[in-house]
Amino acid sequence: MTDTAIRDQIVRFGKSIFDRGLTAGSSGNISVRVDDGWLMTPTGSSLGSLDPAKISKLDDRGKHVGGDAPTKESFLHVAMYEQRPKAGAVVHLHSVHSVAVSCMAEVDPADVLPPLTAYYVMRVGTLPLVPYFAPGDLDLAKAVRAMASKHHAVLLANHGPVVAGTSLEDAVYATEELEETARLYLLLRDMRTRPLTAEQIADLRKRFPIKV
């Protein structure tokens, strides 16, 4: 894909995410790996009204070389790419149900959500909780880096998900699957549920290995 086509794709997915209320205000950010670096949504921008010409361009060492300044959360994306050479895109949202689950006291920090559906297992798998750090605290980058080598999706406590994919489409769909599963989890909280069994999960892993 050309640089122009990727910029248009970021604008299109950004608007779709915003229009469906999956992140509000100027929250959430998207990055895509390109031949000579990265394209990233700018700081202070709303995913609902991105300007393709203003999308930040970073070179292959992460230096800002074009467009507006990148999101202040760029370090989350960089930490993911550093640990996952196959990652082609990273999506970070403040999606309500995922954030709600990230604030709950009684979740398993090693794997926050139960394996409720096959698509969640195929697109997300396990989801560790990254402890809370204040915005801009570089220890957050350290904590994400430590988990990203083993997980392409993590949930930041009291904040939201960070998800890598082989492509932007892949990363967006995985983030949406995570958000929908968080919603299901909250809907089902007071009911007895029947999550997938270890055997069913192992079978899915074999048929549909996670590629990122």
Residues catalogued as catalytic: 73, 119
What is the rounded CA–CA span in Å between residue 182 and residue 151? 18
Enumerate the β-bridge partners of residue 30.
Answer: 91
Contact 156, 103 (CB under 8 A): no
Return d(Cα 194, Cα 199) in angstroms, integer: 13
Instruction: Please give the Cα distance from 184 to 117 (Å, whole number).
Output: 10
| Sign of the alpha-carbon dihedral angle for 169, 211, 203, 184 | negative
Calpha distance 208→134 (Å, rounded): 36
What is the DSSP-derived secondary structure letter of residue 41? Answer: P
Helix (H) or strand (E) holding 147: helix 138-148
How far is residue 148 from each of residues 153, 174, 185, 197, measured CA to CA in Å? Answer: 7, 15, 24, 25
44 sits in the region (left: phi over 0; alpha: psi -120 to 50; else beta) called left
